[in-house]
Amino acid sequence: MHLIQQRLARLDQGTFFASRIGVEKESLRTTRSGHLAQTPHPPAWGAALTHPALTTDYAEALTEFITPPLTTPESVCNELLRWHVYASQQLTEEQFWAASMPCRLPADDRIQVAEYGASNSGRMKQLYRIGLGHRYGRAMQVIAGVHVNWSLPDGFWQQYADLIRTDEPDWRTLRDVHSLGLVRNIVRFGWLIPYLFGVSPVVGQSFLANVPQPLDRWDEHTCYQPCATSLRLSDIGYQNNTDTGSDWLVNYNTVRDYASSLLQATLTPSPIWQKIGVKVRNQYRQLNDHILQIENEYYSPVRPKQPPRSLESPAIALVERGINHIELRALDVNLYAPVGITPEQLYFLDAFMLTYLLAPSPPLERQEQQASQHNLRLIAQQGRSTTLSLQCAGQAVSHRAWGLELLQAMEPVCAWLDQQRNTSNYTQSLATQQAKLQDPALTPSARLWREIQQQRSGFYEIAADYSAQHHQFFQQQTLTPAQQQQCDQIGATSRQQSAEIAATEQPDFDQFLADYFATVTRSASDLGLLPES
């Protein structure tokens, strides 16, 4: 805490630079009866391949809403609201599912993988998702989440380099060093996020058709785990398969180490994925049979990001241009908020990110990283238990005591941010989260479980009720003529761009894939990111 306060005092000597916050929020399209929609991504919305704000993720029915980086939590939520209203008002027989864990699902092979057109880039995006289906099952690809993208402007880093009198050679290097320090601290302390905001303690039976891990049963269609906060982040949620014939683990200690460890996984064959095959009877089943098809397959609660250029490897982009923003990926969709997240959550996360950017962050060794992964799973599966212990520095510690200590470190940062922005929202949000650690009954996961018990209802019924309420809310909103026109124009532009890409002469797809991975290998080798053979 001393270092955090020391660095805050130095920030007082300079100009205040607001952080930038963007959100990627996923929502399943469902029928009004709560079954997975089997219709294509609505063409009236625009083209999924090129639309900047309204696209799909893994499955065709998994809509993704994306905001640009904005400077206030309210502006982020208002941007999400605009696109939810626009999209919802064009749905006649469907609506958006309000929960992270999916609605009533058909058989796995009837879950449609997202489609992006006939261009090679579109086919590659789809084939990657087909590969995920073969590796993890398609039901895994309809779990929804919220990702928060957080960054500080270049002006902050230029000023910060002068204020803290760093030994780093330039502000860009300083940005990468401290941003990756934040990533390591989120790996260490990110278990707080599902504890505070997890709202998936239950799951529908249709999701578990091919899942061997037993859960307790509430009714015919609802399963749960006592004291769970986020089954989405548990062993039954979206996780990488650890039985890949390798002891590979990502390295978070430098940008080059991080990129190198990911690239090695995309270039190293895995015996378990080799059993699937890559191209069988002239049909592709996956991009390749390596530990990871591409870097994005590695599921982590946090990622350092640099937007890649066309067909550029994300890892190469990081090394070439540094860290642009941090992507926090551990948030469930907020069942109780129409757009899946609230300004209060974003105020807390903004302060959390700044606090643990300013905090010390020593290298993350393998044993600590494995303990951190174990802590995250424990919180996801048992986080509301009052007797739960986590591993911290090789010792068993109370998650409640540790969590309160982590939040206490945020107090001066919240006070400083409130002063800078002339508000009390940061301190108020922090107090709300501190109360949740004092009393787990205040967590949203406890609220959902309590509602199911009190109403003697099931997961599908509760989630469908909230989905209908949110849909009605969107129907009652009105976009201004300018907003409507802008949304229409963005959709039209995306359709035109997608058509132009498809109309461009496409090389043979086999050659396209071979060229892509050859370029990745060559770039990684030129940058010294691969071990010498």
Give a three-class secondary structure readout of 314-351.
Answer: HHHHHHHHCCCEEEEEEECCCCCCCCCCCHHHHHHHHH
CATH class of the domain whose range is 7-500: alpha beta
Band (pLDDT 50/70/90 cuts) for residue 214 is confident
Domain borders along the chain are 7-500
pLDDT attached to residue 348 = 98
| DSSP string computed for 264-326 | HHHHSB-HHHHTT-SEETTEE-SS-SBS-SSGGGS--SEEEE----TT--HHHHHHHH---EE
- Encode pLDDT of 303-345 as tens digits: 999 999 988 999 999 999 999 999 999 999 999 999 999 999 9
Contact 325, 305 (CB under 8 A): yes
- Of 17-21, 103-107, 146-150, 528-532, which range is least confident? 528-532
pLDDT band at 241 (very low <50, low <70, confident <90, very high): low
Amino acid type, 190 = G
Does 240 score more than 80 pLDDT? no
Would you state the pLDDT for residue 211? 63
Query: What would the pLDDT profile of 480-500 be if each residue is shown by its tens digit?
Result: 999 999 999 999 999 999 999
56: confidence class by pLDDT, cuts 50, 70, 90: very high
Residue 242 has pLDDT above 60, yes or no: no
Q: Cα torsion at 511, 514, 517, 521 (round to 10°)?
A: -120
pLDDT of 532 over the 80 cut: no
Q: Mean pLDDT over all residues of the chain?
A: 94
In the predicted structure, residue 245 carries a pLDDT above the cut 80: no
pLDDT value, residue 423? 97
Name the helix (H) or strand (E) containing 375.
helix 366-382
**pLDDT tens digit sequence for 290-309:** 999 999 999 999 999 999 99
Question: How much is the pLDDT for 246?
Answer: 54
User: Tens digits of per-residue pLDDT, 72-85?
Assistant: 999 999 999 999 99
Q: Look up residue 292 and give its two tokens.
A: 């990871």
What is the pLDDT confidence band of residue 507, given thresholds at 50, 70 and 90? confident
Residue 377 CA to residue 445 CA, distance in Å, equals 15
Phi, psi of 213 (to 5 degrees): -65, 125
pLDDT band at 268 (very low <50, low <70, confident <90, very high): very high
